[in-house]
Structure 1
Amino acid sequence: MDKVLAVTRDPCNRWHGTTIEAMVIIYNPEFKGQIAHADPARSGSAFMALVIQLMSMGGDNETGWNYMSNFVENLEGKVLFSSSAVFEQVADGSCKVGITYEEAAFKYEKSGENLEVVYPTEGTSKVPGPIAIIKGAKNLEPAKKFVDFILSKEVQAMMGGIYRRTVRTDIVLPSHMVPNERLGDIPYDPVWVGQNKQRLLDRWEQLVAGQ
């Protein structure tokens, strides 16, 4: 495990990340200020984007929420039903800017759609896609071998081909991905996020309802 990024490992060693998810901006060259953003209450990636935006703009405090209030105002009441609608609407020109996750954005970009992936200048988070073994698992040894297999260099080297970001430090990322060190280090604590999810969503809903 010495070749796995520390940020993708649970400090208590309960789980390990298998890939890294980064939030990105996709835009149409004819940018006119229209923003595509999915409903965080319906989309896991949109909720992740909410948390990352909040943390990158001051944190879970009035500074961060003032930014989110301005952001929601710029949405002009348009909150999309699903995360897939974000890149679909940017691709077809319905919206000019979308906030989404790296994997989906690259899939659309590489398929020839009229959009480009841009990373926020404030940085983003390295959110791991976790893998873990259930406590008391009956087949513990095979489970350990499977985890080792998923985290192996051979398997992790394939992640770039499916537009996912490897968690290993000894694999060169595909040329279309910016290096991990350039992503930034916006904090994303999955335990804290889980404990505060409903409160964050309630605050978001208040902002949207106020528009």
Structure 2
Amino acid sequence: NWKKQEIQVLKGSKAYKVLVPIFKRIKEEQPEGDQKEKTLQFFKVGNVFDISCTSEYENYLKEQIEIDEIIMKNSETDYSTAFSFVSENFPKTKIIEDFKDQDKKGSYDPLSQDITVNQKSSHTLFHELGHLISISILKIAGHIKKDYSKSEVLAELTAYLLLKSFDENIDYNFAYSNVWANRITGMFELDEFINSFKSISKYLENFF
């Protein structure tokens, strides 16, 4: 309840219609003299407003940015460290930093083998490197567009292994991985995922 929290709802805000439970309590006298309480429940239509309709929305956004930055810091290695790792170990691969388009994270071009990062994120850089390794080097991911789901799983698996290699205590963010987790059995043949995991792990051992 925004009113109880002394937060003002902005004028002109559109409310969401919800069913609000209404409770009434009555007491019945029992033969033994005790009173038994019963609850009668019904619903009525009420109005609710989400935080974007309140005066606190800007502060909420600032807090979320701060929280995201903390999560990012704990779930990634330093970007410059990741950049140096890719540059030194994959000199033929061009890393294009295009931070103007923040709506995207990154991409990999299998023809030129160039990596583009749109966010200054080691996780994103390692993910795109995962495409390079699984598609162009180990050739276990298939076509980046035709086999998109499989390609994404293996790229993210590579990112996970790399981040853990730099810091085994890193609080890896599984949010993106979970999108694909329930599809693994449908995307990979029997033992294919395990073999792919072993291939990527063995390949990365060359660098650590």
What TM-score, normalized to structure 1?
0.24
Q: Which of the two has greater strand per residue?
A: 2
The structure, 1 or 2, with the larger RCO (C-alpha pairs under 8 Å, 6+ apart) is 1
Larger Rg: 2
